[in-house]
Amino acid sequence: MMQGNEADWHYVPLNNSFGQSVNNVFYATFGSQKAFVKVNASPLLASISQVGLTPKIIWTKRNSNGDMLTAQSWVDGVVLAATEMGDMQVNQTLATLHHSKMLVEAFKKFGNDVTTPKQLVDRLHQHAHRSLIQNTYLSNALSELREATPKFDAQNAVVVHGDVNHHNWLKNDHSGKIYLVDWDTVALSDAFVDVAHLLSHYIAPNQWREWLEYSGYRVDEETFVKVKWYGTLSFLKQINENLWSDNLQAANLEILGLRNFCAIFK
């Protein structure tokens, strides 16, 4: 329960792992109370919190500007390192998310539609940085995605996080529980939006089969077509975001990662 008026709480902007201020995210304190506060968070966050995938919501309040503040329990913990993404809790968290019928229904109640593969790649194309379009290799990769979208049955759409980068995973120092945070990219789509990002960026190719089988996926040609398509999309999205933020070093690392990833399928 929230104690104290809005003005009584002290808000400090939070920084990401690069030391950059994160928009609309704050560390809030009131006496001995601590909270993680998000401004205008996804309305689905309450349902996600109920499932236990993200820290518990302790209060919500509309401020004097009309913005909705959502406070979550403060977790003393650390962001997962890239080398920790093979932790089975990560796998289990995604399985819980992707198998939750309750979250699908909650998402639909907010009037959200299913996002198809075509819509995902068209959205990237519409917001592509000039440097991405002018780079022959990247432009060709984007064109290939637009020309050959994978099979997708909207009836099988699940709630996906949309950005399972290791910076969005938080491990509690005390309990060891791992949470998935920052749900601004949540969508109703193909589970491989998340699965392929994880496999392409963090899991060794010789472990993909075991990972997929453990997660209940069929290990066949269609599955690997999805891994390649959505994995390529995840690299291009990361590259595009880094270009827009002028982080050329990170963009170049993602380009190298994309080249190595695509080479696996040749």
Q: Is 258 helix (H, G, I), strand (E, B) or coil?
A: helix
Q: Label each residue of the chain as H, E or C.
A: CCCCCHHHCEEEEEECCCCCEEEEEEEEEECCEEEEEEECCCCCHHHHHHHCCCCCEEEEEECCCCCEEEEEECCCEEECCHHHCCCHHHHHHHHHHHCCHHHHHHHHHCCCCCCCHHHHHHHHHHCCCHHHHHCHHHHHHHHHHHHCCCCCCHHHCEEECCCCCHHHEEEECCCCCEEECCCCCCEEECCHHHHHHHHHHHCCHHHHHHHHHHCCCCCCHHHHHHHHHHHHHHHHHHHHHHHHCCCHHHHHHHHHHHHHHHHCCC
Catalytic residue among 122, 163, 173, 194: 163
Gap between the Cα atoms of 16 and 244, Å rounded: 17
194 annotated active-site:
no
Encoding tokens for residue 52? Answer: 């236990």
Please answer whether residues 114 and 154 qualify as being in contact, where contact means their C-beta atoms are separated by less than 8 angstroms. Answer: yes
Q: Could you give the residue numbers annotated as active site?
A: 163
